Amino acid sequence: MSKLDLQPLAGANFGRHVRVTGATTDAEVIEALEAEADTLLSAFYDGHGFMLLTGLDSMARDPSQLVRLSRLFGPEVEDYTKTGMILDRVHKEVPEILVISNAAPMNQKPPARPEPALTADGKLPVQFPHRRGWHTDQSYRRPPPDISLFYCVHPAPIDQAQTLYADGISAYEALSDAMKARIDGMEALHVQPGTGRAELAVKAGETPKPLGPLQQPQRQPIVRVHPVTGQKALYLCESGQLDWIEGPIVGLEKGVDGDGARLVYELMSHFTSAPYAYVQEWRAGDLVIYDNRCTIHSATWFDGDATDRVMWRTTVRGNPGPEYADETPSWLPAA
């Protein structure tokens, strides 16, 4: 009899909440998930590539458990010291873990609050463009990573530092036939954040930084066909991870006021609207597993002066789909 209890995710129209019956330690949870990996992965994909586990408290003291669990989700758990990451953000003992924190030495500033801070009915803003920062992880690499595992070591208070997620499969399915036909085969131009090519940087007249040969903007399809399920999903970012100088959409009018910009605004406001969105309030020991091929996410503000928030992330790669077959990774020097 299965030990996995696979429930719909409360507060979302996608995703699964996974519990393991009879397990009293994180090691027992992981053993049970490994023993029923096929069931786990079916539930993950049935939930459009999104899953929540809770109560994994000892993982914070044994980070190797996160890497072990990550291995269930793909061929390779990435070593962040080999992906061009800032080394201060890589876990000192476990290089497969990226530490996302405002504490030293990571020193990542919390995102700004939206303007206004709440919606007209007093809620947390979720929908673009009121909410900014929506992206899929490292889409500036080609091929991009497949799946991320995001674990809460030390949360900010409830009502702060949520992560927002959106379901690209349902959002794609709900598009009009005319829009589906319009974006079929279209590509967006993605680029590393902080290089002066973001929408707001271009609007502010910043001089873009020179890009090295391994930092070049990368084309990515706006509609990805999932290599496991065959489902189509929207695949797009907004301000910070698109190139608003040469893009944002390949073949459309360039720049922050062009037809490409208008299409990004139209698609992203749809993608992040209520039917497709989910708000994750973090507690210590929560683990969210999300498929970057068919979901996007965004971070929210927290009081970094009052809290040292600590999150760990792994990324799994190796199955981006036939679109990327036999490509040399864009972030590695040519052999």
d(CA 33, CA 39): 9
CB of 137 to Fe ion, least distance (A): 5
Encode 184-202: b = buried (16+ Cβ within 10 Å), e = exposed: eebbbbbbbbebbbbbebb
36 or 286, CB closer to Fe ion?
A: 286
CB of 29 to Fe ion, least distance (A): 25
CB contact at 8 A, 219 and 187: yes
d(CA 314, CA 95): 9
CB of 186 to Fe ion, least distance (A): 23
32 or 296, CB closer to Fe ion?
A: 296
Amino acid, res. 170:
S
CB of 88 to Fe ion, least distance (A): 17
Closest CA to 64 of 192, 187, 151: 151
CB of 163 to Fe ion, least distance (A): 8
Q: How many CB atoms lie within 10 A of CB 143?
A: 22
Stretch that binds Fe ion, among 70-78, 132-140, 190-198, 207-215 (CB under 5 A): 132-140
Stretch that binds Fe ion, among 22-30, 137-145, 174-182, 279-287 (CB under 5 A): 137-145
26 or 314, CB closer to Fe ion?
A: 314
3-state class of 171 per DSSP?
Answer: helix
CB of 215 to Fe ion, least distance (A): 18
29 or 150, CB closer to Fe ion?
A: 150
Strands ordered across the beta sheet of 277-280: 277-280, 163-167, 295-299
Stretch that binds Fe ion, among 95-103, 112-120, 134-142, 193-201 (CB under 5 A): 134-142
Q: How many CB atoms lie within 10 A of CB 252?
A: 16
26 or 137, CB closer to Fe ion?
A: 137
- Alpha helices per DSSP H over 186-308: 199-203, 259-271
**Position among 96, 137, 243, 291 found at the interface with Fe ion (CB under 5 A):** 137
78 or 137, CB closer to Fe ion?
A: 137
Number of amino acids touching Fe ion (CB under 5 A): 1
CB of 94 to Fe ion, least distance (A): 19
Stretch that binds Fe ion, among 136-144, 157-165, 166-174, 193-201 (CB under 5 A): 136-144
HSE-up (13 A, CA, CB side) for residue 82: 11
* Partner residues linked to 51 by β-bridges: 16, 289
30 or 50, CB closer to Fe ion?
A: 50
- Which residue number is nearest to Fe ion in terms of Cβ? 137
What string of H, E and C letters represents the secondary structure of 282-313? CCCCCEEEEECCCEEEEECCCCCCCCCCEEEE
96 or 137, CB closer to Fe ion?
A: 137
Kindly write out the interface string for residues 253-282 of this chain, putting x where it contacts Fe ion by CB under 5 A and - elsewhere: ------------------------------
137 or 167, CB closer to Fe ion?
A: 137
Stretch that binds Fe ion, among 110-118, 131-139, 219-227, 248-256 (CB under 5 A): 131-139
Q: How many CB atoms lie within 10 A of CB 87?
A: 10
Told to check if 146 binds Fe ion by CB under 5 A, we report no
d(CA 24, CA 22): 6
CB of 150 to Fe ion, least distance (A): 8
CB of 38 to Fe ion, least distance (A): 28
Closest CA to 165 of 315, 25, 52: 52
Which spans of this chain sit near Fe ion (rule: CB under 5 A)? 137
